[in-house]
Amino acid sequence: MKIILTPNQVENLIPQEDEDFVIAWREKNGSFPGFRQLQQSGQRVESTLSTHPKSNMTTKEYVDKHLGKFLNLIVAKLSNEMGISLSDKKRGARRYVSKDAKKILRSELEVLTYNIFVIENIANQIEVDSKRFKNICQGKEPDFVWENKKIIIEVAGMEGEDYWKKLNFAEDCFKNLGYTVYVIDARKFEKQSKYIAYYKYLCQLLGFDVKQEVIDSPYKYLGYSEPTKNFKEKYIEDNINSIPYTLQQRYNLNKYLNQLYGYGIKEYKKRQGIKRFRHSVDKNEIIKFKKENPQMSNSKIADHFGLSKNTVQQLTTGLLAR
């Protein structure tokens, strides 16, 4: 039997201090806490929220004995309030946003790898999922290419003989092209949430100094499980006028617009008065023309721009007396 809870019942069910803890964790670490993360953090509740009644508990004890039964409800409630979609869970989906908000990656360790380059101020030297080897190395697109150092990094987290066979072939192919190749078996780090160990390992491989800021709070560098509302709004603002769109731009724009407003590109452009096509007439151009020619009828303005009279009338109603 399924039991459906109303929003008010959910509100009454969740202890306020537990919701406060999840909010504080997200503010501190950049993403909602996961059950496994809390079990593996090695911290006490007080390190996230000192005023919590269970502040002396470890986060493992806290999530095992208490928070676990509320955690999914709290995350669902807060994600809804913040406009963050948690629905896209398929394997390989890009769900993790880098700290510079320039890349969306597939896993926690991929985004941690990229964020290490951000920390080292060399992210602009890194190619992500480079396509230039696709026709040479059996379609393989390496996760990270550091061309200046002739280094390729593969964060390998999948199971399966075919996957590793293809990866081993690609590794040999990249090496034959003159690259140093690091294939990192992410499974041994990811399954036990050994983020600090992974960070230290990668620093050792690449010759970076280990930074205490990452050791103290590795979760800050694991990205968000879904782009934030601000990220989506900025993406729309930066890409809506890029005509024509690439397939990826069209997909992301429609996805983010529907998540934020409940409609896609066509309706958004109509409501905002934005050109739908490269040679479309901008709404502001029509309004400006009307102001400059107040005595011209809507029919003549429509003829001037090659539009319908109704379109001109809708855009200029109330602007000036006819």
Which pLDDT tens digit goes with each residue over 52-89? Answer: 999 999 999 999 988 888 888 888 777 666 545 444 44
pLDDT of residue 188: 80
Looking at the fold, whether 291 and 233 belong to one and the same domain comes out as: yes
**% of the chain beyond a pLDDT of 90:** 23
Instruction: Tell me if 321 is assigned to some domain.
Output: no
Domain-embedded: residue 2: no
Asked which of 221, 252, 268 is the last residue of a domain, the reply is 221
Any domain includes 103: yes
Q: Is residue 160 part of a domain?
A: yes
Question: In this structure, are 200 and 309 located in the same domain?
Answer: no
User: Over the chain, what is the mean pLDDT?
Assistant: 79
Give the pLDDT confidence score for residue 74 in this predicted structure. 84
pLDDT recorded at residue 105? 83
- The answer to whether residue 90 is domain-embedded is no
Model confidence, pTM: 0.47
Of 82, 111, 137, the position where a domain reaches its end is 82
Same domain, 303 and 285: yes
Do both 140 and 113 map to the same domain?
Answer: yes
Measuring CA to CA, which residue among 102, 71, 106, 100 is closest to residue 88?
106
Among residues 203, 175, 198, 173, the alpha carbon closest in space to that of 187 is found at 198
Q: Which of 290 and 248 is assigned the larger pLDDT?
A: 290
Under the banding of pLDDT at 50, 70 and 90, the label for residue 239 is: confident
- Total domains, the chain: 3
Work out the angle between the directed axes of helices 16-29 and 68-82 (0-180°, nearest 10): 60
Per the domain annotation, does 91 fall within a domain? no
Q: What share of the chain is helix, strand, coil (3-state, %, to 5)?
A: 55, 5, 40
Last residue of one domain, picked from the residues 175, 194, 221: 221
pLDDT tens-place string over residues 24-52? 887 776 678 888 888 888 889 998 888 89
Query: Can you state the angle between helices 108-119 and 195-206, rounded to 10 degrees?
Result: 50
User: For residue 75, what are the domain limits?
Assistant: 7-82
Query: In this structure, are 65 and 120 located in the same domain?
Result: no
Residue type, 62: Y
61 and 118 in a common domain:
no
Q: Range with the lowest mean pLDDT among 82-91, 174-183, 209-218?
A: 82-91
Residue 58 lies in a domain: yes
Lowest-pLDDT choice from 137-141, 220-224, 278-282, 288-292: 278-282
Instruction: Give yes or no: residues 202 and 277 share one domain.
Output: no
Residue at 254 is within a domain: yes
